[in-house]
Amino acid sequence: MTFVSRYRPTILLLILCCFSSVAQSQDKVRFATNWKAQAAHGGFYQAIADGTYKRYALDVTLLQGGPQVNNRALLPAGRVDFLMTGNLLHSFDNVKNGVPTIVVAGIFQKDPQALITHPGQGYESFGSLKSAPVALIAKDAQFTWWQWLKATHGFRDEALKPYNYNLGPFLANPKAIQQGYSVAEPIYVGNQGRFKPVVHLLADHGFSTYSTVIEARTDTVANRPDLVQRFVDASIIGWANYLYGDRQAAHELMRRDNPEMTDVEMEASVALMKQQGIVDSGEALSKGIGAINPARIRDFYAQMVGAGLYSQGDVDLSKVATDRFVNRGVGLDVKSRLLAR
């Protein structure tokens, strides 16, 4: 009997134990988004599709949001580990109301919130929008960034009409302006109205919030910083690969979760994200995707105080976000390598 055959059961057991150990070392993570799967979530799906999360020892389950889904409540309740939320207004509210969450990455350097108009109607400049006779704005926006537009840019409540996420009223009225996600609604207008709308990104006119931020519970940050770091790093690399590499596998996963999406729409959305600098602009160019600057958060909060959304001292800004997990240049090498191809 040879040495190998004599000890084969023991060797096989050791091999199986090694594989079991590797499998057990994958931390299970539940991550929730705030809407249905779309290109604006692409980097997270990319990190699942190409195995980036697994290489960071993470077994990630992604829970998409939607019109009938309130994923925001899941994070403080401990039912998910991380949450993708809209912008810093949600984070300000959490801190003001004592909800123990904190932003750990600002994936979008620019909030894609925009005002869109028909071309050739005299709305080519941002300043001209305040004279529009009809402004189709959703109720939640009327009580948030619309107040900032009034305080900062002179917009008027008299123009307000409710926007119910139906393009019909906007398409029927050339003099109307309408809110929209700059990487989505212009595509839908092109498909349904057969024209290219004028798009005014609020971020280009002072609305300086980060968007598509990653939130964690404060106890997770305190007790499991390594888990937070791995999730943030892997997500950033996922975004670099999604923007600059092969994203077809990510699109397949998104179509599985949201069959309404098409490759054509998602590719058009990626093109707009790049063109507008939604993800990769400003400090992200040197510090990496997800960059956070506390001074910028203070400035945005001051704007919101000026708009009457908060009073000075309502929010302890030190609890809103932390930059300890970002600003490290993660993903810059991935972007450089992919662009060099």
Question: What are residue 162's phi and psi, to 5 degrees?
Answer: -70, 135
Q: How confident is the model at residue 67 (pLDDT cuts 50, 70, 90)?
A: confident
Distant-in-sequence contacts of 121-129, Cβ < 8 A, 24+ apart:
121/174, 121/175, 123/177, 123/198, 123/200, 124/198, 126/153, 126/200, 126/204, 126/205, 127/153, 129/153, 129/155, 129/177, 129/200
Instruction: With respect to residue 6, please indicate whether it lies within any of the assigned structural domains.
Output: no
Indicate whether 214 and 331 sit together in one domain.
Answer: yes
- Residue 25 confidence (pLDDT): 87
User: Three-state secondary structure along 274-321?
Assistant: HHHCCCCCCCHHHHCCECCCHHHHHHHHHHHHHCCCCCCCCCCHHHCE
Instruction: With respect to residue 84, please indicate whether it lies within any of the assigned structural domains.
Output: yes
Indicate whether 142 and 83 sit together in one domain.
Answer: no
Q: Is the pLDDT of residue 229 over 90?
A: yes
Indicate whether 83 and 224 sit together in one domain.
Answer: yes
- Residue 1 confidence (pLDDT): 46
Indicate whether 104 and 128 sit together in one domain.
Answer: no
Indicate whether 189 and 46 sit together in one domain.
Answer: no
Q: How confident is the model at residue 231 (pLDDT cuts 50, 70, 90)?
A: very high
| Mode of pairing for the β-strands spanning 58-63 and 134-137 | unpaired
Instruction: With respect to residue 12, please indicate whether it lies within any of the assigned structural domains.
Output: no
**CB of 210 closer than 8 Å to CB of 103:** yes
- Residue 66 confidence (pLDDT): 85
Indicate whether 62 and 146 sit together in one domain.
Answer: no
Residues 141, 142, 143, 147: is their CA dihedral positive or negative? positive
Instruction: With respect to residue 19, please indicate whether it lies within any of the assigned structural domains.
Output: no
Overall average pLDDT of the 131-159 stretch? 96
Q: Is the pLDDT of residue 181 over 90?
A: yes
- Residue 3 confidence (pLDDT): 40
Q: Which CATH number covers residue 276?
A: 3.40.190.10
Indicate whether 319 and 200 sit together in one domain.
Answer: no
Overall average pLDDT of the 208-227 stretch? 98
Q: Which CATH number covers residue 161?
A: 3.40.190
Overall average pLDDT of the 278-295 stretch? 98
Of the candidates 185, 205, 225, which is a domain's last residue? 205
Indicate whether 118 and 157 sit together in one domain.
Answer: yes
Overall average pLDDT of the 19-33 stretch? 77
pLDDT in tens, 130-143: 999 999 999 999 99
Overall average pLDDT of the 187-211 stretch? 97
What residue ranges in the chain does DSSP mark as E strands? 27-32, 58-63, 82-87, 101-108, 113-117, 134-137, 160-162, 176-181, 198-201, 211-217
The number of folded domains in the chain is: 2
Indicate whether 128 and 271 sit together in one domain.
Answer: no
Indicate whether 237 and 307 sit together in one domain.
Answer: yes
Of the candidates 169, 190, 205, which is a domain's last residue? 205
pLDDT in tens, 294-333: 999 999 999 999 999 999 999 999 999 999 999 999 999 9
Instruction: With respect to residue 8, please indicate whether it lies within any of the assigned structural domains.
Output: no
Q: How confident is the model at residue 24 (pLDDT cuts 50, 70, 90)?
A: low
Residue with tokens 């510090």: 287
Indicate whether 232 and 214 sit together in one domain.
Answer: yes
The span from the CA of 335 to the CA of 337, in Å, is 5
Task: Please count the CA atoms within 13 angstroms of the CA of 18 that sit on its side-chain side.
Answer: 6
Indicate whether 186 and 263 sit together in one domain.
Answer: no
pLDDT in tens, 239-267: 999 999 999 999 999 999 999 999 999 99
**CB of 28 closer than 8 Å to CB of 236:** no
Q: Is the pLDDT of residue 191 over 60?
A: yes
Instruction: With respect to residue 128, please indicate whether it lies within any of the assigned structural domains.
Output: yes
- Owning domain of residue 78: 25-109+209-339
The mean predicted confidence, pLDDT, of the chain is 93
- Residue 94 confidence (pLDDT): 97
